Amino acid sequence: MTTTLTPPPVDVSRELYGARLPTWGPRAVITAAVAAAAAAYAVGVNLLQAALLAWVICMVLPLWSAAVEGRRKATDRLVTTLVSSAFVLAMFPLFSILWTVISKGTKVLSAEFFTNSMRNVVGEGGGIYHALVGTLLITGAAAVISIPIGIFAAIYLVEYAEGNRLSRWIRFLVDVMTGIPSIVAGLFAYALFVLFFGEGVRMGIGGSVALSVLMIPILVRSTEEMLKLVPNELREASYALGVPKWRTVSKIVLPTSLAGIVTGVTLSIARVIGETAPLLIIVGTTDSVNFNLFDGRMASLPVFAFASQRNPGIPPEFSIDRAWGAALVLLIIVMLLNLIARLVSYFFSPKGER
């Protein structure tokens, strides 16, 4: 028996152009969701429930798409919606923190706030000069200690010890160190300094050591990743010119990855500059300016904010305002550092690749 197989006639236009939601569809749904949430908020529903309402309305989009466009596109829209809402959810804490700190912190910012210490200040007035100096000195010293150690360790791991047993151990320990709670770093620094200076020691440099313990693993990891990104061909090109290994590392590998390394350094500084617990243990706090890292207590912005909030005195509001002010200044410093990291990676990245 023979059968002739005639394919059913295909309507090309139908095959290629399925039904589609209008291009304004997604935007319309989002606008409707936001409008509904705003309206609900206006009539007294609380913010959380209003946001939830908006999210539920957004879920109309995949359903609508399923009805019009079919299953594949509906799945696409569903996943897009889920991913976007995860992003929005992640942005909430960020904007919430920024908003709170900025709205509560800006009112105390003044020239006086930056140039006065808290020495002999009760109630209104005073400033964060002493804490600013302390934070910059302690973090600066921490950077001076950890940057060479971190970068050299990373160079060792990538350039000199690829895959040997020692490097695997170092990598493992660095990973463990990344997870050290900051309070443990503070206790370590305190225990170390007690060995030399006896019980009850308070020193800015101790805080720097504690911060270095936190900074070094971050630096090693980020620098390592940056060095690994340098193509092996460049190293080989350099060796083939009869350049010794150490010159290859210092003149080819490091300059090529400089932008990434500097970014890593800046971000690691930003990471530790807000640490409170270790400084509380080994540095303490004070009301006066102390420029000497090696002698006595020093104030720092995070500890100052903590202490002002904890023991505000009577009346409390001035002290609490100063705590918000210190938090805002800290936030600004961190943002400036991030900005610097951006600029550095822009200006230092290899020419021709921008």
Partner 1 sequence: MAKSIDVSDLNIFYGDFLAVEDVTIPIAAKSVTAFIGPSGCGKSTFLRSLNRMHEVIRGARVEGKVLIDGQDLYGADMDPVNVRRMIGMVFQRPNPFPTMSIYDNVLAGQKLNSKRMKKTEADDIVERSLRSAGLWAEVKERLDRPGSGLSGGQQQRLCIARAISVEPEILLMDEPCSALDPISTSVIEDLIHELKTQYTIVIVTHNMQQAARVSDETAFFNLSGVGKPGRLIEHGRTEAIFSNPTDPATEAYIQGRFG
Write the CB contacts of 338 (distance below 8 Å, at least 6 apart in sequence).
266, 267, 270
- Of the candidate spans 21-29, 113-121, 178-186, 245-253, the one that interacts with partner 1 by CB under 8 A turns out to be 245-253
CB of 354 to partner 1, least distance (A): 10
16 vs 240, beta carbon nearer partner 1 = 240
CA-to-CA dists, residue 23 to 55, 76, 205, 265, angstroms: 20, 15, 61, 45
DSSP summary character for residue 253? I
What DSSP line would sit under 4-43, residue for residue? Answer: --PPPPP-HHHHHS-----TTHHHHHHHHHHHHHHHHHHT
263 is a contact residue toward partner 1 (CB under 8 A): no
- Of the candidate spans 71-79, 94-102, 226-234, 270-278, the one that interacts with partner 1 by CB under 8 A turns out to be 226-234
70 vs 244, beta carbon nearer partner 1 = 244
27 vs 247, beta carbon nearer partner 1 = 247
- Please pick, from the candidates 192, 243, 331, 332, the single residue that binds partner 1 as defined by CB under 8 A: 243
CA dist., res. 252 & res. 230, Å (int):
9
Q: Which of residues 324-353 bind partner 1 (CB under 8 A)?
A: 350-353
Exposure string of 184-195, with b = 16+ CB inside 10 Å and e = fewer, is ebbbbbbebbee
Closest to 158 in 3D by CA, of 174, 179, 140, 180: 174
- Please pick, from the candidates 251, 292, 315, 347, the single residue that binds partner 1 as defined by CB under 8 A: 251
72 vs 251, beta carbon nearer partner 1 = 251
- Please pick, from the candidates 244, 313, 315, 316, the single residue that binds partner 1 as defined by CB under 8 A: 244
247 is a contact residue toward partner 1 (CB under 8 A): yes
22 is a contact residue toward partner 1 (CB under 8 A): no
- 266 and 344 Cβ atoms separated by less than 8 Å: yes
Binding site for partner 1 (CB under 8 A): 162-163, 231, 233-244, 247-248, 251-252, 255-256, 350-353
